[in-house]
A and B are shown apart, each in its own frame.
Chain A
Amino acid sequence: MNFKKLLVAVDASENSARAVAYVGEMVGNTRGFHVTLLYVERFPERDTFPNEDSWRAACQKEEKTIRDFLEDSRRQLVNSGIAPEHVTVEYASASSLGARRSEGYSVARHVLQFHQEGGFGTVVVGRRGVSKAEEFLFGSVTTKIVHSAKDCTIWVVQ
């Protein structure tokens, strides 16, 4: 594993923004690092919309927000001193990942799969800190990654 090959899992939240900023600070002016920003798409739940049209509109809006965030983050990393050719952006669409309605689709699992296949030595995630009750009811992508990742260093940016 190449520890200078960083995989930053993001979702356009403030936690993700902090993780990106931290990566910029840490490796910005150091040679040899390659940073991949990864977003694993999770569609809004279809059942929470009254019809197909309103759901599709929400999906499109969400996608635009994420793509804007990814582009801003890429620019921020380049501005921090990382060569543009060493910053990669990956938008993993739900359809490409075979996601279905509510079958236990796990963002964490897809991040870890990406990490394994890409040979990333470092995984970076943001974390807002969830209560025990929230973790029980909703789960936590960060906690799952921390518990399940192997052969890598994990940076958890709080």
Chain B
Amino acid sequence: MDKVIWEKVQRILPSLSLRDQGQVYVDTSEFMNISYGDVIALNGRHFVVIRDEAERRFGMEDPKFWVKRCRDLETEELYILKLVFHEHFDQHIGSMTIRCFRSPEKESRILELVKNDVRFMQGVTLNDTANNPVRILEMIRGRSLDSVIEDIDVDHASYFQEYFPGILKKYIGACEAVLFLHDHGERHGDIRRDHIWIEHSTGRYRWIDFDYAYESTENPFGLDLFGLGNILLFITGQGVHTTHDLAALSQGLDDNLTPEDFSLLFPNRLVNLRKRFPYIPISLNRVLLRFSAGTDVFYESVEELLDDLKPCLKELGAA
């Protein structure tokens, strides 16, 4: 490692000894070999690796070896570097299996499209010497939407009255951001409640992770819409309400429920939330029911979803 670079690394990682000095990588193809203390050099910029990122889902930590948390050696700013990993895998949604691909090119394209649009994570792509498009992502200081909502420690009636209108308003903004992608021929591809980050300093909702790609279908935005429906259900219900949770309630609620009241894709997930929380307005509940097993009409565009959702916001007095 060059002496100047090593001195900068030491400034950022003072506990690193000369014996543990890492390597400088200009080709990131073998991302498994790149670890703590190594430097990734891209187009004149240098990033020292702090650690591999990990995703926490269902209480499990899933390491992502191709995603490195780094500091820019010159500015000392934190960044997430996403290295190229052409993974393909099956995604299970309810009883359905969907072939999914991880496309760095797609994510780079979207980063370019949403440059300076604060509704999305920001970043640039720099190619390494092997022509791998490495995405340099700015850190969003904040928390995921689901963790924020899970920490609101009030009963549902209070939540719905005090918090929900403001959350719905921002969610609608997030839907408009997805519509922007669709209008430009792109799909988010992995719309989940932990892929909206709420920025601490501004309270903005910002979409992250755009690298999932799927085969074309006759309803190209179906998966994104499905994701938006799931998030709407989550924010309206202040969490997910399953048959298991409902069985624990001693309100005779079960007698009143039919299979049509549950999710089209997850038969144990209650969608007809008005049966659980009668103060949810009919107009909003009707939107939810479009994602239920009982529906005969599906949303085909985010525009259709927004057309139904915006009046709900007015009804809640938060427009």
B213 near A45 with CB under 8 A, answer yes
8 nearest CB pairs, A to B? A139-B219, A139-B218, A47-B213, A103-B185, A138-B217, A47-B103, A50-B86, A48-B101
CA distance A134 to B298 in the complex (A): 11
Q: Pick out which of these stretches binds chain B: A25-33, A71-79, A105-113, A114-122.
A: A105-113
B218 near A144 with CB under 8 A, answer yes
Question: Looking at A44, A50, A105, A135, which has the most chain B CB atoms within 10 Å of its CB?
Answer: A50
Within 8 Å of chain A (Cβ to Cβ): is B281? Answer: no
Quick one: given A48-B103, A103-B185, A104-B182, are A136 and B264 in contact (CB under 8 Å)? Answer: yes
Quick one: given A100-B185, A101-B185, A135-B298, are A44 and B216 in contact (CB under 8 Å)? Answer: yes
B300 near A139 with CB under 8 A, answer yes
B218 near A106 with CB under 8 A, answer yes
CB distance from A94 to the nearest CB of B (A): 10
CB distance from B296 to the nearest CB of A (A): 8
Summarize B's interface: helix, strand, loop or mixed: loop
Mask for B208-228, Cβ within 8 A of A = 1, else 0?
Answer: 000001111111111100100
Within 8 Å of chain A (Cβ to Cβ): is B146? Answer: no
Within 8 Å of chain B (Cβ to Cβ): is A43? Answer: yes
A136 near B213 with CB under 8 A, answer no
Within 8 Å of chain B (Cβ to Cβ): is A102? Answer: yes
Within 8 Å of chain A (Cβ to Cβ): is B18? Answer: no
Within 8 Å of chain B (Cβ to Cβ): is A57? Answer: no
Within 8 Å of chain B (Cβ to Cβ): is A132? Answer: yes
B187 neighbours in A (Cβ, 8 Å):
102
Which residues of A are interface residues toward B (Cβ below 8 A)? 42-45, 47-50, 100-108, 132-141, 144
Quick one: given A45-B213, A47-B106, A103-B185, are A138 and B264 in contact (CB under 8 Å)? Answer: no
Q: How many residues of chain B get a CB closer than 8 Å to chain A's CBs?
A: 35
Which single member of B217, B264, B265, B295 contacts A139 (CB below 8 Å)?
Answer: B217
Closest to B290 in A: A136
Quick one: given A47-B106, A100-B185, A102-B185, are A136 and B222 in contact (CB under 8 Å)? Answer: yes
CA distance A140 to B295 in the complex (A): 16
A50 neighbours in B (Cβ, 8 Å):
86
CB distance from B83 to the nearest CB of A (A): 14
CB distance from A87 to the nearest CB of B (A): 27
Please report which residues of chain B, range 146-169, place their CB below 8 angstroms from some CB of chain A when the two chains form the complex.
Answer: none
Mask for B79-111, Cβ within 8 A of A = 1, else 0?
Answer: 000000010100001111011010101100000
Quick one: given A44-B215, A139-B217, are A133 and B96 in contact (CB under 8 Å)? Answer: yes
Which single member of B94, B221, B265 contacts A104 (CB below 8 Å)?
Answer: B221
Closest to A106 in B: B218
B101 neighbours in A (Cβ, 8 Å):
47-49
Given contacts A45-B216, A48-B99, A136-B222, could you give 17 more A-B pairs where the C-beta distance is less than 8 Å?
A: A42-B216, A47-B101, A47-B103, A47-B105, A48-B214, A48-B215, A103-B185, A104-B182, A133-B265, A135-B219, A137-B223, A138-B218, A138-B219, A138-B222, A139-B222, A140-B219, A144-B218
